[in-house]
Amino acid sequence: MADPRRIVGVIGGLGPAATADFFSRIVQRTEARRDQDHLHIIIDNNPLIPDRNAARRGEGPSPGPELAASAQRLEAAGADILCMACNTAHAYETEIRAAIRCPFISMIDATLEDMSRRCPEVRTVGVLAVDACLEAELYQKGLLARGRSAVILGGGGQASFMTAINAVKAGETGDDPARRMRAAVQDLVTQGAEAIIAGCTEIPLVLKKSDAPIRLISSTDALVERVIIAAGGRLRQTDQFA
pTM score of the predicted model = 0.95
pLDDT at 56: 87
Q: Spell out the SS3 assignment of the chain.
A: CCCCCCCEEEEECCCHHHHHHHHHHHHHHECCCCHHHCCCEEEEECCCCCCHHHHHCCCCCCCHHHHHHHHHHHHHCCCCEEEECCCHHHHHHHHHHHHCCCCECCHHHHHHHHHHHHCCCCCEEEEECCHHHHHCCHHHHHHHHCCCEEECCCHHHHHHHHHHHHHHHCCCCCHHHHHHHHHHHHHHHHCCCCEEEECCCCHHHCCCHHHCCCEEEEHHHHHHHHHHHHCCCCECCCCCCC
pLDDT at 1: 59
Q: Which residues pair with 238 in a beta bridge?
A: none
In terms of domains, do 101 and 121 share one?
no
How far is residue 13's CA from residue 57's CA, in Å, rounded to a whole number? 21
pLDDT at 242: 38
Please check whether residue 16 lies inside any domain of the structure: yes
In terms of domains, do 153 and 176 share one?
yes
Phi-psi group of 45: left, alpha or beta (phi > 0 → left; psi -120 to 50 → alpha; rest → beta): beta
Please check whether residue 65 lies inside any domain of the structure: yes
| CATH code of the domain containing 60 | 3.40.50.1860
In terms of domains, do 123 and 98 share one?
no
In terms of domains, do 160 and 119 share one?
yes
pLDDT at 209: 80
Please check whether residue 33 lies inside any domain of the structure: yes
In terms of domains, do 62 and 118 share one?
no
pLDDT at 3: 80
In terms of domains, do 128 and 84 share one?
no
Please check whether residue 208 lies inside any domain of the structure: yes
Look at the chain and report how many structural domains it folds into.
Answer: 2
In terms of domains, do 117 and 68 share one?
no
**pLDDT < 50 positions in the chain:** 240-242
Please check whether residue 237 lies inside any domain of the structure: no
Q: Which residues pair with 50 in a beta bridge?
A: none
Please check whether residue 3 lies inside any domain of the structure: no
Residues contacting 42, CB < 8 A, separation 6+? 7, 8, 9, 10, 74, 77, 78, 79
How far is residue 158's CA from residue 150's CA, in Å, rounded to a whole number? 15
Q: Known catalytic residues?
A: 86, 200
How far is residue 230's CA from residue 109's CA, in Å, rounded to a whole number? 14
In terms of domains, do 40 and 88 share one?
yes
Please check whether residue 155 lies inside any domain of the structure: yes
In terms of domains, do 29 and 45 share one?
yes
In terms of domains, do 184 and 203 share one?
yes
How far is residue 167's CA from residue 177's CA, in Å, rounded to a whole number? 7
Residues contacting 20, CB < 8 A, separation 6+? none
Please check whether residue 236 lies inside any domain of the structure: no
How far is residue 14's CA from residue 49's CA, in Å, rounded to a whole number? 8
In terms of domains, do 169 and 204 share one?
yes
For CA atoms 230, 236, 240, 242, the dihedral sign is positive
In terms of domains, do 117 and 212 share one?
yes
For residue 42, the enclosing domain spans: 8-106+222-230
